[in-house]
Amino acid sequence: MPDQLPVFIVRELKALEPTATGRAFASVLVIKKLAAKTASNGNTFLSVELGDRTGSFGCTVFGDSPVFETLKAAGEGGVVRVEGKVEYYQGRLSPRLARAAELAEAELSAPGVLESLVEIAPEGHEAMWQEFAVLIDALKHDALRLTVRGVFDEIGDTFRWSPAAIAMHHAYRHGLLEHTLHMARACRALLPHYPEVDPDLALAGILLHDTGKAIEYEGTLATKRSRRGILQGHVVLGYQLARKHGIKARLDADRLERLEHIILSHQGEPEWGAAVYAATPEAVFVSMIDNLDARMGMVQRALRQAGDNDEFSERLPGLSSPLLTRKITPPPITP
Amino acid sequence: MPDQLPVFIVRELKALEPTATGRAFASVLVIKKLAAKTASNGNTFLSVELGDRTGSFGCTVFGDSPVFETLKAAGEGGVVRVEGKVEYYQGRLSPRLARAAELAEAELSAPGVLESLVEIAPEGHEAMWQEFAVLIDALKHDALRLTVRGVFDEIGDTFRWSPAAIAMHHAYRHGLLEHTLHMARACRALLPHYPEVDPDLALAGILLHDTGKAIEYEGTLATKRSRRGILQGHVVLGYQLARKHGIKARLDADRLERLEHIILSHQGEPEWGAAVYAATPEAVFVSMIDNLDARMGMVQRALRQAGDNDEFSERLPGLSSPLLTRKITPPPITP
Amino acid sequence: MPDQLPVFIVRELKALEPTATGRAFASVLVIKKLAAKTASNGNTFLSVELGDRTGSFGCTVFGDSPVFETLKAAGEGGVVRVEGKVEYYQGRLSPRLARAAELAEAELSAPGVLESLVEIAPEGHEAMWQEFAVLIDALKHDALRLTVRGVFDEIGDTFRWSPAAIAMHHAYRHGLLEHTLHMARACRALLPHYPEVDPDLALAGILLHDTGKAIEYEGTLATKRSRRGILQGHVVLGYQLARKHGIKARLDADRLERLEHIILSHQGEPEWGAAVYAATPEAVFVSMIDNLDARMGMVQRALRQAGDNDEFSERLPGLSSPLLTRKITPPPITP
Amino acid sequence: MPDQLPVFIVRELKALEPTATGRAFASVLVIKKLAAKTASNGNTFLSVELGDRTGSFGCTVFGDSPVFETLKAAGEGGVVRVEGKVEYYQGRLSPRLARAAELAEAELSAPGVLESLVEIAPEGHEAMWQEFAVLIDALKHDALRLTVRGVFDEIGDTFRWSPAAIAMHHAYRHGLLEHTLHMARACRALLPHYPEVDPDLALAGILLHDTGKAIEYEGTLATKRSRRGILQGHVVLGYQLARKHGIKARLDADRLERLEHIILSHQGEPEWGAAVYAATPEAVFVSMIDNLDARMGMVQRALRQAGDNDEFSERLPGLSSPLLTRKITPPPITP
Amino acid sequence: MPDQLPVFIVRELKALEPTATGRAFASVLVIKKLAAKTASNGNTFLSVELGDRTGSFGCTVFGDSPVFETLKAAGEGGVVRVEGKVEYYQGRLSPRLARAAELAEAELSAPGVLESLVEIAPEGHEAMWQEFAVLIDALKHDALRLTVRGVFDEIGDTFRWSPAAIAMHHAYRHGLLEHTLHMARACRALLPHYPEVDPDLALAGILLHDTGKAIEYEGTLATKRSRRGILQGHVVLGYQLARKHGIKARLDADRLERLEHIILSHQGEPEWGAAVYAATPEAVFVSMIDNLDARMGMVQRALRQAGDNDEFSERLPGLSSPLLTRKITPPPITP
Amino acid sequence: MPDQLPVFIVRELKALEPTATGRAFASVLVIKKLAAKTASNGNTFLSVELGDRTGSFGCTVFGDSPVFETLKAAGEGGVVRVEGKVEYYQGRLSPRLARAAELAEAELSAPGVLESLVEIAPEGHEAMWQEFAVLIDALKHDALRLTVRGVFDEIGDTFRWSPAAIAMHHAYRHGLLEHTLHMARACRALLPHYPEVDPDLALAGILLHDTGKAIEYEGTLATKRSRRGILQGHVVLGYQLARKHGIKARLDADRLERLEHIILSHQGEPEWGAAVYAATPEAVFVSMIDNLDARMGMVQRALRQAGDNDEFSERLPGLSSPLLTRKITPPPITP
């Protein structure tokens, strides 16, 4: 496939004037949604949504299209390099695709490719993952450390790529790892000031509290809730993971119950998804740190996205307010 | 211990005039609450609440009382035959207890004893338990039947004595069995009209939906929430029971997940304790039958307690209203 | 009007490619909304929404259009056979209509016509209506039966065509009849298990509980809330109907008040529209069956609309969740 | 019955020291509650609450008491002159009653008697009732005036004595008349500033909006909700009254519907009891005046009850706050 | 700039058929939103929303456009006379602008110009402002009058042009003045009937209660919340204004505190923005009049906008209902 | 006054048996409430509540009592040494007081006196106050430091004795200082992990966020809300303090507005008392730390009050749950 075609991101494609009709282009895109449908004449066609981190557009691909088989095979979450010509249908961008090729894993990991497709946590995930491993090793209580390690041996690969949410805080690639790591850092900083909290239990609880999301969210490029996520919810899924590996690690019954309780109660209020109210010092502590870092994560993201001249961000639903993103007046320089 | 003393129930003791001070009496009573405390002079005393189904009264028992050791040994939920004299302390009934003897299991099962101590489901629990067993046997799907049987082999003994709640509907001995059985009857009656519901799955879901309460509630004569009940909640406890026995019975993954989902969602709304919203036909069906029978259970109890001449019951919190308990005008006799 | 033109349903019209511009077509459509407006130049034009059960589109019809008079005369809810050519306006389908003829009643009842225009209850309405009549006849209490019959003599014709809601459960033609009938079936199935409920009163209450909707909703092909519906609400309208016919049938005051109470309280909570909380056994019973069948109606409709390969439906607002529509794994065949 | 015994109000009886035991007294009291009960020995006794506007006390009256028959005959809401001796039972005042005689209607209307028994609206009810009649006569629209007059011909006698609530605003004798009159005054004062409101309709709506309370509340000396009040609610009862007399007065359908709508919607929000949301200019207007005068009624009552030195009242539930009852600093005298 | 081009309002521009493409037009428009953005090729362009009171449309203006500098200089809230040709982009009206000139203040005040651009209070603002001044002068208490005058000396110019809200009641030019004046009229009409309310304090409270909005809302032609509005809210801003001028006028501490309290509590409930609950007679009174006039303002606006043949308005969010705008049947003419 | 009488705390007085009637005792007590009332015979008497940190009792003191003048003079919050004899009135402890003497300031500060009267923060207030001063000095920004110092120069004396709440978290002497200090410690620990937060602004915000409570709460031994507290609320009072001293310290407008905003928004949600939603990084950060430390304060207090053998505390309203106070199983000792 020739590479010389101009490569467009979706925001640019959408910014083209109608006079661009017929213009050739190339793009690297994720298949965000794909559904095979049957027209009233019996023919099968694909209803596809293609996008990158700057936006997405829908198109209908009929059985006789040259890209039909490639898109169908790639499936939701697949990444394809497409070539086509700009067209409009019913007033919306609806390019006519002439070629499509799925990207191999190796191509995906080329510098910049992924970043162009999805929003990614600002800290490098390799470094975060190493810090994470150090945190696990630092747990002093043997069975607790084995429990945590057991869980991440099982779901760690998914965990480190998963977003922390579909639409709320830390809703981007590696967001779950980032949010959990930030909570662990906050926890360690606060522990000296809350001596009634058992350090190992609180930290283990933080590391495990959202692990159910690695099962609840499916797909890292086109995230949606999985069947297990809908039918059980991440709170119960995470509880089940901790229970399984706690028993395997012969964690004493008292600690296991307290660890499970942190996971079951971390959402704070039943209407936000908690199975029970937090009823141990560690569970109260973890749920409040979760709250704090979730809100600060929204602040951090809004600051990253703010233009230099913006005074306020858009209204952030999680804060019920726009955020003042303008920098503070620098303090006077004292000579 | 002489039997000739007049036996009083608590309501009668409380109805005595102050002129009754000094009068000897005997009563059979449950120890509803018992806490050992230390006075500022270093002496230990017991703060005890004694009662039967008609009421309760508190009394303080000092170390030199002849009943100190018996009450302490019997503990919360113990049943004692006491003898004493009517006295008043700070204007409240506060009998001076002279003798106390704990009742043996055999004495408790003598006709009428239990009924005098706690409210009991109106249907006989033996018959209900047999009907329950028949319902389990009638499950056609082998692994599902084994799953349900496994759960009741583990917790059945507690289940059949447990109330369905501490303060809301079916809040009396065998209430959990009664409520579950009534739901099963309603389910079987409705199934022909809702063919989209899988009969075996719905019925198994009903039989198991509240089994976590057999763990959440502790004590059958003096009920309170257990540690596991507070830290995990009956929804998660019941889910865990079903999961354990479903895996043991090699129930297929699809059915197990649907069965677990019925339990996780039966409370209807997250703020009422559901872990997730009902998302299968069977889960919606079971949660609505639960609702229906819970409300009708409040109606039935108010009707049982209504006097012949009462028009309305007291306000029932679960209905947000008093209930019209007066019978309907009999229809005219058509000759 | 020549019949040889290809007949399109709205979904097909919308699926056409822009290259179809100018193509001739015919369609049978309902006038969903019609408003006469005056342009700033003083000319009158019609703002019309035309549709069938697969969708709808808006168009503006000026005074010199050949279909102006026909559409104006047919009015909202009228059904017209139109011919025209495919065109697009501002990127949206906006056909140029050349001919229009209103369908006579007889044409509407031709097989398949109505089904193509509006969603219709899956059970045949003739059979449902007959079963309904049998249910009324089966009421043993004479005055109660006369009351119910009186109401349906007055509003039955509208009732049997009306949807049970504009946007929530059973929101389709005959939905009100279907929902009421399903509730009656459920009621009869449950009555043996709730002996404290008066069968005649409960059944009469169910048959009448939603009759106010036959007045609240106006138009069977293009439903909207009527003036009386907005100013009084279906609860009060239904109560008024029952009261009028109860008095006419000389129903005794006790029963009439209980019957009225079922209607006034069936919505459950004041914020959902109940005038009072349910305060009789029959009123509690009916409101819970209403709840149950409303939810199961949403389940049934989602299952009917599910594709064979779909795992979940869209999120159903009434359930706050998507529904798992995938069939259960068939049980193993036991030889 | 000798009159020379010292007459006590309840507040004084309760303020007596225990050394007063055995002291003879007389009181005029309302029977606030009366229930005939059967002791476990088969004897009947009365559980009675006696009180005046300064408080109340309970006592149990056995079959052999000299006042048993008199109290039973007088019933709830009856007013009795009692004589007895001060006694205490279980630390609470529990006088031994020796004589009781029911007061005749004439005695009740003697100056000061009623005022000592119940809280009464501060304005004289005769004058209020005359002003009320003038307001009705001032309605210009004939059929509307006849409608309003018809309603008050039916329920006026009860209306003018009824409280406007059991526990919230204007909860005292003539409170319903007072609140309605105050709303009518406010309405007439505001009408010139809201010309879009039809004066006759708004005023008729105000006069009738709460008439259902004359049926919902039963008893003027011992108020409770009647059976019709519980089963239908004052909104529907008032609507029914207006409808009946509107039809009788041949009020045109448009006005009748708007009048009914004012009543159905005046509670503002469904969760506060409105059957529908206010949807006409008059209904919005009336519901806001209702709100305003209800709140100001709470203010007026708290000011009447405030001591000269009090700064704040107790917390008023209807305002979610204590009220500052201290007078404003008088303005400086300008010479 | 030649004036002979046909002048279009936005509603007319949007009503043009696509065949109008290329047609020349002129319009007077407000710049509702204007953001300078940088394309991925480094070029700057403006994303602009232009509109009048009948609607608005967006367009993108590139650096080489003849109107680029004019629009950029005029900025948000600027009013421009534009000439251009009708074009469509992606199916939406997207005129190609050829000329633009900002209107001078004098041109803006030409008859009818402003009225065509924004919705304006129906009463003349000059007359309202004079009546307002009279109201201030009529305050008898000297320091109170000085306080109020001080506030309006500071913010009066903005106040009289400001809307009372961005999206709710009185959300149009002079709406804040109109709403405050209407409240003052209602207050004066009601004062004789609520003698417990201090007239001067209540009236001063009304005049000042919403003055913070003159700071919270920025721009009279393109209104948005200011930085101070977002960070402090109009309740605190208005409180601060009253406090500043009250201290300056040497208002006694008692009155100042009560005046501040009216402002702090006028929103009624904390979740609607009140800093505290109303706890003085005047504060309760003012908050209820605010409520009443806000609702009636919605009614008045819906009536103004209603067509002669409309029966109901659209659903009004502030009333949770459509409003019946049809006139009442005229009363019969009595000869 | 002889000192040899046995000294009782309230809990001990209440634990006495009725046989103790007539026993002489002495106690040091706070006057929690005191109201002068007039009996119907015209005599004045005091209605008094006396208590220490273990409980309280009410008594009525008539004009001829030997303690009448002393109690009246001491007033609410006064501390008195009383002598009397145990008596019961209407079944409740109602000692007959024979002597009373108010304690001088010096006597109050004798070791253990205060601790016996009110609950006191566990950390020494002198040390906390010194740490507080160091925190202020550590603020780098000059005007910010001057602002904070200015506020504490004005209200510091009250601040350091005040509770942080009447009924919720840190509701005890020095609780406000303790809670603010704990928040400051948590803030400093977290700052390195949230670099987007301005350290000086966040810390100054924390130090000042609750200073309004030093005005809202009145009396350190018998706390109640002051007039300013009820009419303005601590949020506005604290904002006013910061504004006054910020202006005095010539703090730049940007920082002052951000500082005020932290105070106005720290309660999180308007229904919890926030004037606006947090809209700056520092405001979000401070409100979340406030939340965290408030909850942990409840945990700490419940742990302090727990008996060695208790498993759970009572239900804590702020946590909606009882707290597991039992210590964690000690980890196994690894040799």
pLDDT tens digits, chain D, 335 residues: what are they? 344 677 788 877 876 665 566 788 889 999 988 887 765 556 677 888 898 888 788 777 877 788 999 999 998 888 999 998 887 654 567 788 889 999 988 888 888 788 888 888 889 999 999 999 999 999 999 999 999 999 999 999 999 999 888 766 788 889 999 999 999 999 999 999 999 999 999 999 999 999 999 999 987 677 889 999 999 999 999 999 999 999 999 999 999 999 999 999 999 888 888 999 999 999 999 999 999 999 999 999 999 988 778 899 988 989 999 999 999 988 766 55
Contacting residues of F for B88, CB less than 8 Å apart = 91
And the tokens for A215? 């099962």
| For the ranges B35-44, E2-11, E24-33, the one whose mean pLDDT is highest | E24-33
Q: What is the pLDDT of residues F124-161, one digit of tens each?
A: 999 999 999 999 999 999 999 999 999 999 999 999 99
Q: With 80 as the cut, is the pLDDT of residue C220 above it?
A: no
Say which residue, F109 or D315, is predicted with more confidence: D315
Chain E positions touching A312 (Cβ under 8 A) are: 227, 230
Interface residues on F facing B, Cβ-Cβ cutoff 8 A: 9, 11-12, 15, 17-18, 88, 90-93, 311-312, 321-322, 324
> Chains F/C: 3 or more C-beta pairs closer than 8 A?
no
Question: C60 with C47: CB under 8 angstroms?
Answer: yes
Partners of F319 on chain A (C-beta within 8 Å) are: 277-279, 284
| Cβ within 8 Å of residue D212, ≥6 positions away | D233, D234, D235, D236, D237, D238, D239, D240, D241, D263
Q: How far is E214 from chain D (nearest CA, A)?
A: 25
**E178 vs E160: CA distance, rounded Å:** 8
B near E: at least 3 beta-carbon pairs less than 8 Å apart: no
Q: What percent of chain F has pLDDT over 70?
A: 91
Chain D interface mutation, best of E187, E289, E295, E326, highest count of D Cβ atoms under 10 Å: E295
Sequential DSSP letters for E183-216: HHHHHHHHGGG-TTS-HHHHHHHHHHHTTTHHHH
Which residue of B lies nearest to D90 if distances are taken between CA atoms?
B91
**Interchain CB distance below 8 Å, D329 and E276:** no
Put simply, the answer to whether E227 touches A312 (Cβ < 8 Å) is yes
Kindly tell me if the per-residue pLDDT of C44 is higher than 90: no
Share of chain E above pLDDT 70, in %: 91
Q: What residues of chain C lie within 8 A of the CB of A89, using their CB?
A: 17-18
Per-residue pLDDT tens for F244-290? 999 999 999 999 999 999 999 999 888 888 999 999 999 999 999 99
User: Can you give the three-state secondary structure of chain A, one letter per residue?
Assistant: CCCCCCECCHHHHHHCCHHHCCCEEEEEEEEEEEEEEECCCCCEEEEEEEEECCEEEEEEEECCCCCHHHHHHHCCCCEEEEEEECCEECCEECCEEEEEEECCHHHHCCCCHHHHHCCECCCCHHHHHHHHHHHHHCCCCHHHHHHHHHHHHHHHHHHCCCCCCCCCCCCCECHHHHHHHHHHHHHHHHHHHCCCCCHHHHHHHHHHCCCCHHHHEECCCCCEECHHHHHHHHHHHHHHHHHHHHHHCCCCHHHHHHHHHHHHHCCCCHHHCCCCCCCCHHHHHHHHHHHHHHHHHHHHHHHHHCCCCCCEEEEEHHHCEEEECCCCCCCCCCC
Question: If residue D90 lies in a helix (H) or strand (E), which one and from where to where?
Answer: none
Q: Which helix (H) or strand (E) holds F48?
A: strand F44-52
Q: List residues of chain A with CB under 8 Å from any CB of chain B.
A: 227-228, 230-233, 235-236, 239-240, 243, 257-258, 260-261, 264, 269-273, 275-276, 279-280
Q: What is the pLDDT of residue A73?
A: 92
Separation between Cα atoms, residue E248 and residue D181, nearest integer Å: 43
CB pair distance less than 8 Å for D257 and C233: no
How many contacts does A have with B, using Cβ atoms within 8 A?
A: 68
Residue E91 has pLDDT above 60, yes or no: no
- The three-point CA angle A242-A248-A253 to 5° equals 70
Residue A183 contacts residue A290 (beta carbons within 8 Å): yes
Region of residue E52 (phi > 0: left; psi between -120 and 50: alpha; otherwise: beta): beta
Instruction: Nearest by CB to D40, from B12, B17, B321: name it.
Output: B12
| D331 with E141: Cβ contact below 8 A | yes
pLDDT tens column, B106-131: 888 888 788 888 888 889 999 999 99
| Average pLDDT value for residue range B285-300 | 97
pLDDT tens track for B308-333: 788 999 889 899 999 999 999 887 66
Q: Looking at the partner chain, which of D233, D239, D258 has a beta carbon nearest the beta carbon of C276? A: D233
Say whether F279 and A312 touch across the interface (CB within 8 A).
yes
Gap between the Cα atoms of C157 and C168, Å rounded:
22
CB contact set of B54 (below 8 Å; sequence gap of 6+):
B9, B10, B11, B12
CB contact under 8 A, D193 and E198: no
Most confident of C252-261, E55-64, E102-111, E297-306: C252-261
Residue A164 has a pLDDT of 87
pLDDT recorded at residue D1: 38
| CA-to-CA dists, residue B8 to B2, B15, B48, B116, D41, angstroms | 15, 10, 19, 11, 12
Which of D236, D258, D272 has the CB atom closest to C275's CB atom? D236
> Please, are residues A318 and A295 in contact by the beta-carbon 8 Å criterion?
yes
Q: Which residues of D touch C235 (CB under 8 A)?
A: 275
Tell me, rounded to whole angstroms, the distance of Cα F204 from its chain centroid: 22
* Of F264, F220, F225, nearest in space to F241 by CA: F264
Residue C96 has a pLDDT of 82
Strand partners, E60: E47
Taking chain A (335 residues) in runs of 10, the rounded mean pLDDT of each run is 66 69 85 75 75 81 85 90 78 79 86 83 93 97 98 96 80 92 98 97 98 90 88 96 98 97 93 92 98 96 86 90 92 65
Higher-pLDDT residue of F235 and F4 is F235
How would residue C55 be classed by pLDDT, with cut points 50, 70 and 90?
A: confident
Nearest-by-Cβ selection for B231 from F88, F93, F324: F324
User: Which chain C residues are within 8 Å of E18, Cβ to Cβ?
Assistant: 89-90
Q: Give the whole-angstrom CA distance, residue F126 versus residue F300.
A: 20
Q: Provide, as residue numbers in chain E, all residues whose Cβ is less than 8 Å from the Cβ of F235.
A: 275
**Res B2 pLDDT > 50:** no
Question: Per CB distance under 8 Å, which residues of D are interface residues toward F?
Answer: 9, 11-12, 15, 17-18, 88, 90-93, 311-312, 321-322, 324
Higher-confidence residue: F196 or B94? F196
Chain F residue closest in CA terms to E280: F231
Q: Is the pLDDT of residue E41 over 60?
A: no
8-state DSSP, D14: H
Alpha-carbon distance A261 to nearest alpha carbon in chain B (angstroms): 6
For residue E140, what are its two tokens? 């008898």
At B39 the pLDDT is 56
Contacts of C312 in chain A (CB under 8 A): 227, 230
CB contact under 8 A, E12 and C227: no
CB nearest A312 (choices: E88, E89, E230): E230
For residue B312, the chain D residues in CB contact (below 8 A) are: 227, 230
F85 CA to centre of own chain: 32
What does the alpha-carbon distance between residue D163 and residue D170 come to, in Å, rounded to a whole number? 6
- Among C150, C166, C182, C183, smallest CA distance to C229 is for C166
- Residue F178, judged by CB atoms within 10 A of its CB (0-12, 13-18, 19+), counts as buried
pLDDT value at C334 more than 70: no
